[in-house]
Amino acid sequence: MTYSKGRFRQSISMGVRHCRAYTLVELLVVIAILSLLLGILLPVLGKARTTASRAACRAQLRGIGTGLRMYVNENNDTMPVAAQLPSEEPNLPCITDVLLPYLKTREIMHCPSDREDNYFEKEDTSYEYPHYLSGKRVDQTFLGKRWGETSTPVLFDFAPFHNRAGEPGAINFLFGDGHVGDLVEK
């Protein structure tokens, strides 16, 4: 007579009771299969996390672009006067302080991937504002002249937060027309 209880198989024959547990080989096979599955899934999950962080950064830049457009419209088509690197130009305000009345919160200027160098803590923003735009009227900048709004970056990540340097998508750019993408589109 054989019956099962839990994970042990027991058999009773002629008053003798036998218990059979999993063998060492069976346990090792299960561990090997699980480690193989983890080895396959972990890089995929890491890549998904990086992609999600890049998408969150791009969404934030779009929101900042809307605030920047409102600022420019209210200030006679003039770009904000702000420091490219606030820590190196203490006499100029940070772009975060200039645009804050047009943004929901200061935290929108913090890229989710800015963890390693933590530019947000040092510069009060994760995004660089180019010096050639500071205080200029739109028609006197590259926005209104040679490049056009679709090709002129107005804010971008301080460092390659989203991929290795030189790789596509490593740095997010906000362009003059409000779209966000790579500097050189594929």
Is residue 119 within 8 Å of 125, Cβ to Cβ?
Answer: yes
Q: Which two tokens stand for residue 25?
A: 């080989």
Strand partners, 17: 12
159 — pLDDT class (breaks 50, 70, 90): confident
Residue 77 reports pLDDT greater than 90: no
Per-residue model confidence (pLDDT) at position 48: 77
Per-residue model confidence (pLDDT) at position 122: 86
pLDDT averaged over every residue in the chain:
81
Check residues 130 and 151 and name the one with the higher pLDDT: 130
Q: What is the phi/psi pair of residue 137, to 5°?
A: -70, 150
Check residues 16 and 45 and name the one with the higher pLDDT: 45
Angle (nearest 5°) at CA 58 between 54 and 64: 145
Angstrom distance (rounded) from CA 131 to CA 176: 14
**Average pLDDT score over residue span 113-142:** 84
Among 85, 42, 94, residue whose Cα is nearest residue 64: 94
Residue 153 reports pLDDT greater than 50: yes
**Average pLDDT score over residue span 125-141:** 85
Residue 186 reports pLDDT greater than 50: no
**Average pLDDT score over residue span 3-18:** 54
Is residue 54 within 8 Å of 126, Cβ to Cβ?
Answer: no
